[in-house]
Amino acid sequence: GVWRQTKALLFKNCLIKCRTKKSSVQEVLFPLFFLFWLILMSVMHPHRKYDEVANANLGTLDTSMLVNFVIGYTPPTRMAREIMKKVAFDNFEDGI
């Protein structure tokens, strides 16, 4: 019945794995290699934590200010949305 078919299928799969050792080893080692690679990359480039910036009047946006501009992430709060809305509707010169 079912047990004989399951046993035969497992035996067949074991035979296939034994006959194709190279591909069987690759099936195991490639995911481990990529996992090691991802861990290595995350260790080499750790996440940066930036401190809070005090509230300040930034003034008008000027093209000279945008040359070495660094953008940071902020949680999606109401105040952050208002600031982004002001920045989005500000008039920029062409080419920026």
38-76 pLDDT per residue, tens: 999 988 887 778 788 787 776 666 666 566 666 666 777
Note the pLDDT of residue 66.
60
Number of H helices, E strands in the chain: 3, 0
| Residue appearing with tokens 């009047």 | 57
Note the pLDDT of residue 38.
92
Note the pLDDT of residue 42.
87
pLDDT at 86 over 90: no
For the chain, give the mean pLDDT.
80
Which residues touch 87 (CB under 8 Å, ≥6 apart)?
61
Q: Is the pTM of this model over 0.75?
A: no
